[in-house]
Amino acid sequence: MLAWLDLFGVGVFAASGALAAIAARLDLLGIFVLASVTAIGGGTLRDVLLSRHPIFWIRDARPMAVIAVGTLATIAWVQWQPVPLHALLVADALGLALFAISGAEVADATGCSAPVVVLMGTLTGAGGGLVRDLLLARVPLILNQDIYASAAIAGIVVYLLLHRVQAPAPLAWGAGFATVAGTRLAAIAYGLHLPVVTP
């Protein structure tokens, strides 16, 4: 089940990367490049930093196939229908939650300290979007006031706390996932932002 959920997350992030590339009027190759880095960038950075080899998409080619299908479907969709932004935002929140907790789980299994687990989980969930925004020469979403990376951090902390008190693994995983997704969806629904420091 988790493997299929991971592929779902890859597909969602590939679609969001493709939409960003289309909005920036990139060519077909640029669309595929941006979709790919958005979908697998975070997990790739995590695997490199944790010295996990081969990197997950080299070990298993299914993520690349999902990226290709998701990108082509997105390109076809925007030719015929308006982009379903609300549905994409919901799916993106679920993808963030899925990748953040699965990334934290990977780091925790390697024996990393709690701060590193939080960092690796957040990087897995939001790293692809970070690379996407840098390639588009704009301020990365995780550095803006949007509640995005902070939602991932909150969920990972919940996951770690439950894991440390030896709660059942499905409970810790599910509670962390729900915290990330719920926090992000609440921020979208109610326009919540982190405070901005002004001089």
In a domain, 114, yes or no: yes
Can you say whether the dihedral through the CA atoms of 182, 187, 192, 196 is positive or negative?
Answer: positive
CA atoms within 13 A on the CB side of 172: 18
pLDDT band at 81; cut points 50, 70, 90: confident
Q: What residue numbers bound the domain in which 108 lies?
A: 2-190
Is 18 within the bounds of a domain?
Answer: yes
| 198: in domain | no
pLDDT band, residue 154 (cuts 50/70/90) = very high
Cα torsion 11, 22, 41, 119 to 10°: value is -100
Nearest alpha-carbon partner for 42 in 115, 85, 87, 98: 98
Q: What is the pLDDT of residues 7-53, one digit of tens each?
A: 888 998 998 899 889 989 999 999 999 999 999 999 999 999 999 99
Question: Residue 127: inside a domain, yes or no?
Answer: yes
pLDDT for 179 equals 97
| Mean predicted confidence (pLDDT) in 171-199 | 90
Q: Which two tokens stand for residue 75?
A: 């390109």
Bridge partner residues of 196 (DSSP):
none
pTM of the model: 0.88
Closest CA to 121 of 163, 89, 90: 163
Strand partners, 146: 193
Find out whether 103 and 121 touch, Cβ atoms under 8 Å: yes
195 falls within a domain:
no
Q: Who has greater pLDDT, 90 or 109?
A: 109
Q: What is the pLDDT of residue 46?
A: 94
- Tell whether the model's pLDDT for residue 64 goes beyond 80: yes
Does 152 fall in a domain?
yes
Q: For residue range 99-147, what is the model confidence (pLDDT) as tens digits?
A: 999 999 999 999 999 999 999 999 999 999 889 989 998 887 777 767 9
| Number of domain units in the chain | 1
> pLDDT value at position 1?
58
Summarize pLDDT for 157-181 with one digit per residue, the tens.
Answer: 999 999 999 999 999 999 999 999 9
pLDDT at 73: 93
